[in-house]
Chain A
Amino acid sequence: DTAVSQTPKYLVTQMGNDKSIKCEQNLGHDTMYWYKQDSKKFLKIMFSYNNKELIINETVPNRFSPKSPDKAHLNLHINSLELGDSAVYFCASSQVWGGETQYFGPGTRLLVL
């Protein structure tokens, strides 16, 4: 009964490809997030999203886009992958918007060759 799950766990792909990472939460939370942990180990927010509002970190390239088919899912689409996109991507969710305790998925390790 994983609270926040992500697929795939590992993703190896070539530069220029388009890929998606899926995230699902079964906690009934209203808000979901995507984070990127880079090679320097910083965990940085990419997107915050609920059914009313999407907040995008201004540093995130527009090649990255979140897509939410329903409240329990927030997928991450990445177009034209670049070497610098290699990182671990974490999905998270929280009961309400903004700063509440967030529950994280196990991460997706993306390697762009």
Chain B
Amino acid sequence: DQQVKQNSPSLSVQEGRISILNCDYTNSMFDYFLWYKKYPAEGPTFLISISSIKDKNEDGRFTVFLNKSAKHLSLHIVPSQPGDSAVYFCAASGRNYGGSQGNLIFGKGTKLSVKP
């Protein structure tokens, strides 16, 4: 029972173009969403987050969009750079509900390749 789904296992884009990574969730109690980036043989590193009271959050080249009615979020990277090549994990939690609802639930990840 995947509560957080990343249906694209991989994505390839050209340097300088936009990368769009998608994520869908099923649990209506999720109220906090995060994107993590992971390089091989390293742990995931936090990239950007968004609370359910917002529909957009921007940090430099990275923007996360949240569509609560569709239970969908996306990460936009503009412009994409070769150093962005990594696996991107979407994660969600119901942090305002406390207890185990505050745990992060991760998607399976999307491997982004940015070609020079």
Contact = CB atoms under 8 A, between A and B. Distances in A.
Contacts of A57: 100, 103
Interface residues of A, number: 24
Interface residues of B, number: 25
Contacts of A99: 32, 93-95, 102-104
Contacts of B98: 98
24 contacts: A4-B43, A41-B108, A42-B108, A43-B44, A45-B104, A48-B100, A55-B100, A57-B100, A90-B44, A92-B43, A98-B101, A99-B94, A99-B95, A99-B103, A101-B46, A101-B49, A102-B46, A102-B104, A103-B45, A106-B41, A106-B42, A106-B43, A107-B42, A107-B43
Interface of A: 4, 33, 40-45, 48, 55, 57, 90, 92, 97-107
